[in-house]
Structure 1
């Protein structure tokens, strides 16, 4: 893995957003009119988005696509990132909501898998279409990671660490890139590579490595003491927790599990964690396999998802004062984009 300094990494990710503004979707050139549509469109959802809490958002997206295309839409709820990637790459699913890294993997397996749309930032543009990859510790242990008035990742070495999945952008790709860049400057770890972070044990960087399989379960690993430190994004756990101290997604921010939190946090009400590192990441796309759907259907989906009607749908873009749960928030909207938006994620492996 290329040793990318943190500042360079952040600049790469944000620059890609600026470069991506105003792009037209690559689906228009890669989808062909002579592809025969299936009887139903299958959407594959990553484990983070497959929970019961998010069924209303999934259903609203399904209904919008059904109305625009005249085709039935079926959800494929997966329990593993690899299943989702394989489903869209093989065409067993024609659509999938992916993170940046899982999208890059799917596109590598099948170049006909391209972004359909991506959710904007609060500005309604790609300029702030970001979420956060965070390194978290349990409340009460944060002093171990103090450095002056802030926090440092120096002391994560030797700890029990939980990632999400090797196919997760914010739950693996970005944090491991950061760790390799940071620790390889030290003589002890000068030869550190991302693959060295996959397993723990004697002589390894971590004493133990766990993979939660979802952001929710990586956080559960932390709160139940299975891990000392965890990689967890902000968006996939936001509906289960409240910010109770500090500034959102900045080092020192403290979050508390809600009293009425659903599974897998139903028995963890009041548990707290602290952010010690936070890195912006490009929003992941709803991707389409253009070899499995006609151009007419692809264009119809882009049109309906980027429409004012969808933008105003409060089951898809959840108002900030709503008690409903979903994975997109108002005043965001869907925007058409193309593969180039995810080049910075791809570059992390070069």
Structure 2
């Protein structure tokens, strides 16, 4: 009787051991399968990338260059790439945050805002005359009596002032700071000017000054000079009355879901671009160069000083 019980206990222990081994094996296979599936998802080929472009020069002027850039990147990346010119600067930032746009052409201020909100990453910027810098200009009709920033401040009550897009670095942030320091501007509703208008882009600002619809306007130097070069603006009818310090050029930024290998392909492709349609669409660029977040430290500080973003704790 004792031997039967002993044999029964041994068989029971063996059975339990087998069941435990089988369960562990199944769990291991499941874990391995899930890991493999996850790895497959992480390495899955992207089907499409959308490039969001701010309307710095007006959408019509930028469309051809943006579309040609998208086609070139699609050829190199091996999947569909589209470009879309957004109606305003902030729209591109929000589209990146919503996952609709994976790569974007941003102004320095909009890049800083996008980086703070959504941790996007600058990878490339444009060169103008071989240098990655530009300026904010204040421009006026050539026969205007306003010749300096001091003239604008002293005669603010007679001046119809034009900014570009409210989120533009050269068309709003930098000249706005200068005018705030001079005590003649706080907001579109609170100022000492005859009127304050936001035109939406640099081309519209230049045309408004040329046609004397506005008296003084804030504009990107590179876009302004390119408009004159292309004959879209008559440079003899406009004068520059103020220039800011150097500003680092507009960045091309990507979201975190873009792989390092794709970023490298994008960089190598853009650094090799010589197509005039692409270069002219982005301020008359002479080429492209690598960029990173640190290049926009001064713009970040200006945005903090102007209350556009809050400093990180």
CA shift digits 1:59-88 (9 cap, x unpaired): 332122112211111111111112122122
1:281 aligns with 2:247: yes
**1:345 aligned residue:** 299
1:193-218 CA-to-partner distances (Å, cap 9, x unmatched) read: x6x13325xxx322211000111112
User: Counterparts of 1:92-241 in structure 2 under 5 Å?
Assistant: 92-111=100-119, 113-123=120-130, 128-141=131-144, 143-145=145-147, 152-155=151-154, 157-158=156-157, 159-181=159-181, 183=182, 189=183, 196-200=186-190, 204-241=191-228
Change (3 A) 1:72 1:341: same
Alignment map for 1:316-331 (pairs within 5 Å)? 316-317=278-279, 325-327=280-282, 329=284
Q: Do structure 1's residue 75 and structure 2's residue 83 form an aligned pair?
A: yes
The Cα shift of 1:36 comes to: 5.3
What is the SS of the residue equivalent to 2:262? helix
| Structure 1 CA distance for aligned equivalents of residues 235 and 222 of structure 2 | 19
Q: 1:207 to 1:86 in 2, by over 3 A?
A: same
Distance 1:222 1:146 in 2: 16
In structure 2, what is the Cα distance between the partners aligned to 1:36 and 1:106? Answer: 26
Higher RCO (CA-CA < 8 Å; seq separation 6+): 1
Gaps of 5+ in 1: 1-32, 184-188, 243-256, 318-324
**3-state SS of paired residue (1:83):** helix
Mapping 1:52-67, distance limit 5 Å: 52-67=60-75
State the shift of 1:109 in Å: 1.6
Q: Are 1:199 and 1:206, in contact at CA under 8 Å, matched by a contact in 2?
A: no
Describe how 1:26-37 pairs up with structure 2 within 5 A.
34=42
Larger helix proportion of the pair: 2
Per the normalisation by structure 2, the TM-score is: 0.74
State the 1:49 CA deviation. 4.4
Give the 3 Å change call, closer, same or farther, for CA 131–160 of structure 1 in structure 2.
same
SS in 2 for 1:335: strand
SS of 2:208 mapped into structure 1: helix
Q: Return the offset for 1:281.
A: 1.8
Look up the match of 2:59: 51
Question: CA 1:328 to 1:217, structure 2 compared with 1: closer, same or farther past 3 Å?
Answer: closer
Q: Distance in 2 between matches of 1:276 and 1:216?
A: 18
**Quick check: 1:115–1:338 contact (8 Å CA) kept in 2?**
yes
SS of equivalent residue, structure 1 residue 52: helix
For 1:309-320, list aligned pairs within 5 A: 310=273, 312-317=274-279
Partner of 1:295: 260
Larger Rg: 2
Taking the aligned partners of 2:284 and 2:129, their CA distance within structure 1 comes to: 8
In the aligned structure 2, how far is the partner of 1:220 from the partner of 1:37? 45
Deviation at 1:58, TM superposition (A): 1.7
In 2, the alpha carbon distance for the partners of 1:270 and 1:118 equals 26
